[in-house]
Each structure stands twice: as structure tokens, then as C-alpha cells.
Amino acid sequence: MARIELRGIAHAYVPSPVSEKDYALRPLEMVWDDGGAYALLGPSGCGKTTLLNIISGLLRPTRGQVLFDGVDVTAAPPQRRNIAQVFQFPVIYDTMTVSENLAFPLRNRGLGPGETRARVEEVAELLELTPDLRMRASGLSADMRQRISLGRGLVRRDVAAILLDEPLTVIDPHVKWLLRRKLKQIHEQLKVTLVYVTHDQVEALTLADRVVVMNQGRVVQVGTPQELFERPADTFVGYFIGSPGMNLLPCTVEDGAVVVEGQRLPLDAGVCARARAAGGELRLGIRPEFLRRVPEGTPSSVRVEVTQVEDLGRHKLATARLGAQALKVRLPEEERLAPGEACWLELPPRWTMLYAGGSAIP
């Protein structure tokens, strides 16, 4: 396993970049600890695969250094970095059996037959492939093939890190959760450094100890799943994470309060002062999960009109109008609300955030 350090890494696919817009990956500094599980999360084209390929050695960055355990490997090819990479489409040999596919990386490194067999059996048991070891790889299901591909990375005890690039994209939805659970279990058992690229927030928040959220070639926030959900540092993070995402409402700041559609909400005076000083468009942010229906007159509450209620089984999702703005509200299953009803919603100050120019006001 390895501690991976990125120093001033940036990359452009155009020759001789001169401005920031020429860079597909904007300058960043980052450290990933030995044995950690990390996810690179963001929409298509945000730079996450570019960053993964720089770490693996498939791509040399335009600027900056990549260090494994303090050793500069920026110019080193993938085979000298001692990493395993699992791609979106499984890379396995159809003419070989499952056992032969798992043994292939070990035989290439000259491991003896006894040690190879023992390691293959160990990894096969971990991935629940033991009954299939003698089967040919051709004709196996997509999830089986992806487990073999993952096993080829795990079979080497000396691997520095496992890099996974959208490995569950081609897997049927009903078996994705099984493989997510298996990946989580593998990491907990082996404590291998894991870097997982995905556009799926459920995968990222389920698998990773820390999530790197990317947008337009930038790292916008790094944090635990809880930190990203509760305290998004950027409006993009608030909107991108969550289902539905954070409510983001245009607002103004007046005399120690936030004003949204003519309704005043008290907020910390220091936050209000810093928001006024920061400049840029101001937005109030609150997650649907933190809004509560309350009696009229409750502090920090606003009057809304319900326009839609969806029953999602364990909870309800309501859409409400606050002046010209729409609010999404997660409600308990037993809550009785109907379209056309007016009610009061509390925005607890603890969970209400203020953003200036897209960035959270601390």
C-alpha cells in the first residue's frame, strides 16, 4: 500500500497552454493516506479520469509531481508504480479459466505454483468465485467478469494502490449493491489504498472514507460523506449531492437577518456581516431533510404553499412555493399534506447555510 501525494498537479490536452481555461485539470494539491478509501466524484468531463490516469502513470501531467511514499514517480510508467487498475469494461482473457485469469499477474512475476494457487484460492473466496474457478471466462455475466478483473488487482500482495474507473457502470442495477457491499468488505479486510472514480453519488458515499468532489477540472471540496451532506462548501456540492439536492434560494442580508421573498430569517450576525463583505450573488441553502413543518409563529419559519406531494414509501417528498421560489421538503410518511395547502416550515439556523458567489460563508 502507498501514501499518494499530488503536488501542484495540472494537465492540459492542448500544447503550450497559456490560460486557465486551457487546462482540463486545474492546479491541485492533495494527499491520500496509506490504506484509505477515496472516491473521485463529479459529472462527466470534470477531470476525474484525467486525475486517475495521472496517478496510474497512463498520463504524464503538464505540471506538478506525483509521489508514492515520498518517491517522485511523475515520469515512471504504470509498471513501475506497482498499482492495479480496474476499468469500466473488464480486462480479462476469455480463453482462460477464472483461476488462470487470477493467477496470470502472479505467474508474470515468477511466483511459484504453490504460492500462486494459495493466493488465487484466497482471493476467489473473498470475491465468492470459488465455485467458478474452472469455468472459462467467455460467456460469464458482466458482474462476474468485473469481479475477476478486481481479483486480478487484489491477487498481488505487494500492490501499492487499486484504482477503479467507473467499474460498476456496465453492471445491472439489481446487482450493483451486491458489488458495492463486496468492495466495501474487501477494503475493510485488506486496508489497501483505494481510489474510486464515479459520477454516482451513492457509490461514492457508500464506498469512500473521503470523497473528492470535482467540477470543471477543479476540486471543489474534499470531505467525509457526512461533511459533504451537512456542510457543503460550494453550491455545486450542495446541489450535486443529495436526492434531491440542496434548496438554493436567492436572498439578501439586512440587519442581522436573511430575507427570502420578503420573509425574514434570523441568522448569526457574524455570518451575515461576512456575507455582505464577500460580495457576489447571495443564496440561502438548506437540505430538504432539514426542513420541518411547524405551527405558525415558530421562530425561523416561513409560510409556503404546497404544490405537489410524492409518496416514496418510507417518506414523502413535497414541493412548496415560497413566493416565486420552489422548495423541496422531505416529510415523514405519516405527515398529512395536500397540494393547495398552506403551512409553515422551519429553517433551523444550525442547518441553514449562506453562500456568496457560490462559496459557503464560514
Cβ neighbours of residue 15 under 8 Å, at least 6 residues apart? Answer: none
Tell me, what's the pLDDT at 108? 85
Beta carbons of 287 and 248 less than 8 angstroms apart = no
Weakly modelled stretches of the chain, pLDDT under 50: none
β-strand partners of 147? none
Cβ neighbours of residue 75 under 8 Å, at least 6 residues apart? Answer: 60
Tell me, what's the pLDDT at 320? 97
> Is the pTM for the entire model greater than 0.95?
no
Tell me, what's the pLDDT at 1? 66
The total of other beta-carbon atoms located within 10 Å of residue 155's CB is 23
The closest alpha carbon to 304, from 246, 265, 358, belongs to 265
CA–CA separation, 86 and 324 (whole Å): 47
Beta carbons of 180 and 206 less than 8 angstroms apart = yes
Tell me, what's the pLDDT at 251? 95
CA–CA separation, 46 and 262 (whole Å): 37
Q: Cell numbers for 98, please give them.
A: 477464472
Report the interhelical angle of 173-190 vs 142-154 (nearest 10°): 10
For 124, half-sphere exposure in the C-beta direction (CA atoms, 13 angstrom radius) is 20
Tell me, what's the pLDDT at 276? 87
